[in-house]
């Protein structure tokens, strides 16, 4: 499933770059094209650091706020509520401040502690993205009541972000619990994350959620791929 994810992500990122350079992409989809580029560079860099240095936590710590900023920009463009627009701006500033504040300490932390902090970073990002996704969906009802056109493919991306982020929250909460338990009780991580560890209910659930998270991640980038194509063709069918 990881190979399928890599193919879908790479194809979507290449499409996004081509559409950006040929100026065929709607401006409201610029942030999504940048998300694809950032995520592709992140995954390639993470693989390189994992192979060469056996530690890629710093890569994810650096790229997660960049990806969040682009997603936040995307929702900022599509949410009409002024109060939410201000909050989205503030959330980006606070998120980057948190990352910069922790960066020095993160580099010097032990891998296990650094991994726990990284999980909290991803968890925070997911909670914020769920908030903006729900706000956008609520905003849709106001648009419909005012007879405004609804971009079906923007809605598809927002729904996919909501779906993926929900699974990601469950996944990272389980991971945080298992890592904390491992550190507190001095249990090897390999034992904690072993799905055959019948004594740990969280270990079993973690192994079940992981493939679902990968599946929703693939779904997210497939939805983004479709949205980019429709944005480039500017088809009237993208609206209802």
Question: What are the chain's domains?
Answer: 2-238 (1.20.1070)
- Across-strand partners of 151? 239
CB-based contact 130:165 (threshold 8 Å): yes
The pTM of the full predicted model, rounded to 2 decimals, is 0.89
CB-based contact 10:43 (threshold 8 Å): no
Give the pLDDT score at 190: 74
User: Residue 166: which of 207, 222, 128, 126 has the closest Cα?
Assistant: 126
Q: Looking at mean pLDDT, say which of 21-25, 52-56, 85-89, 176-180 comes out highest.
A: 85-89
Instruction: Give 99's pLDDT tier (boundaries 50, 70, 90).
Output: confident
Give the pLDDT score at 146: 60
179-231: pLDDT as tens digits? 888 878 777 777 777 777 645 677 878 888 888 899 999 999 999 999 999 88
For residue 62, with 0-12 CB atoms within 10 Å meaning exposed, 13-18 middle and 19 or more buried, which class applies?
A: middle
Measured CA to CA, the distance from residue 66 to residue 195 in angstroms comes to 33
């Amino acid at each position: 499933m990881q190979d399928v994810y890599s193919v879908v992500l790479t194809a979507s990122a290449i499409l996004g770059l081509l559409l950006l350079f040929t100026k065929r992409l709607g401006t409201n989809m610029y942030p999504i094209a940048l998300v694809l580029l950032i995520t592709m560079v992140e995954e390639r860099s993470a693989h390189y650091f994992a192979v060469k240095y056996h530690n890629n936590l710093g890569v994810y710590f650096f790229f997660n706020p960049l990806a969040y900023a682009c997603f936040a920009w995307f929702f900022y463009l599509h949410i009409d509520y002024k109060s939410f627009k201000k909050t989205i701006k503030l959330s980006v500033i606070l998120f980057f401040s948190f990352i910069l504040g922790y960066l020095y300490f993160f580099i010097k932390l032990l891998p296990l502690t650094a991994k726990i902090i990284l999980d909290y970073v991803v968890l925070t990002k997911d909670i914020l993205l769920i908030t903006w996704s729900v706000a956008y969906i609520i905003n849709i009802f106001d648009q419909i009541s005012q007879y405004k056109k609804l971009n079906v493919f923007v809605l598809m991306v927002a729904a996919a972000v909501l779906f993926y982020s929900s699974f990601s929250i469950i996944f990272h909460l389980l991971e945080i619990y298992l890592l904390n338990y491992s550190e507190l009780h001095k249990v090897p991580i390999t034992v904690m994350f072993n799905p055959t560890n019948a004594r740990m209910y969280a270990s079993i659930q973690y192994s079940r959620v992981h493939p679902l998270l990968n599946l929703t991640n693939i779904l997210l980038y497939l939805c983004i791929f479709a949205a980019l194509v429709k944005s480039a063709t500017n088809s009237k069918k993208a609206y209802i």
